[in-house]
Structure 1
């Protein structure tokens, strides 16, 4: 399997949106509060791109396997909506997208990447830890039904 990671174009916002929906569908009705990823629209993704952020897509031939969004927030790159379609999980897609984005940050002379990871999804916390991310903050939703870690990796 050859996976290509590349920047998503504006006209691919629907593809990014589709991968996010496919990856986060398993959490629909299970997280409190619900994941904002399931409310996001292609227009939201385009707006992020127009503000200087963007998205990347992971492709195998003509099939989108995953996506991730990013934005620069001095002094770090925030990586969000990391989404791998269920059939592509376990194949290193997430790791490849993160490496691509981390290198993009370094090229912009940004030497820290951050992600937000819900505590109600402990497998994701463990995955980011394996990829070199460390917890730097513990944040709570207003109603305290769930919380998340802000995780950071020095680049």
Structure 2
């Protein structure tokens, strides 16, 4: 692997590659999630529309080939991320951690208080990853039509350097 992986903000032209990356990465969850992941309904048109409305994405690529991505949007004073995706052939390179770190850096640059995400209850390995990165559970919720929690909300508080200089 002589060519480095580059992380960069997505552009609307990236929508087809983002859709393909999400489809490839989330294929492992088909039949494992109830209800089925909304990732299976993502389209390049839908992603392009989200990007046009002000949502964002960060992509990881090598030699112009997309290896991973994450969608982001401001939500309740935090930066929310979803659709964290790494294609199967690029797993084990630390790209998920690098993408989350890029989301956190973006949130800090915007002066936001924290970063949040949702993860399915059954995806315990993903929960472990996020906990290892400093995320804590803030609540659970049920998808429409379910009477039990299907998703866990997690958040990481980002230190506000100005606030911390003043003291607590």
Q: Place the TM-score, normalised by the shorter chain, in its bin.
A: over 0.9
Give the structure 1 partner of residue 150 of structure 2. 147
Q: In the TM superposition, what whole-angstrom CA distance separates every residue of 1:37-92 from its partner, at most 9, and x where no partner exists?
A: 01111121112112211111101222211010011113111100000111111211
Point out the more displaced range, 47-56 or 124-133.
Answer: 47-56
* 1:19-98 equivalent positions in 2, closer than 5 A: 19-98=21-100
The RMSD of aligned alpha carbons is 1.3
Residue segments in structure 2 that go unaligned for 5+ positions in a row: 159-168
What is the TM-score when the length of structure 1 is the normalising length? 0.94
Deviation at 1:10, TM superposition (A): 0.3
What is the TM-score when the length of structure 2 is the normalising length? 0.87
Give 3-state SS (helix, strand or coil) of 1:110's partner.
coil
Residue segments in structure 1 that go unaligned for 5+ positions in a row: none
Structure 1 runs of 4+ aligned residues shifted over 3 Å read none
Deviation at 1:117, TM superposition (A): 0.4
Give the structure 2 partner of residue 132 of structure 1. 134
Count of residue pairs the alignment pairs up: 155
Give the structure 2 partner of residue 111 of structure 1. 113
Q: In the TM superposition, what whole-angstrom CA distance separates every residue of 1:112-146 from its partner, at most 9, and x where no partner exists?
A: 00010001111000000011111001111232466
Is the CA contact 1:53–1:69 (under 8 Å) kept in the aligned structure 2?
A: yes
- Which of the pair has more CA radius of gyration? 2
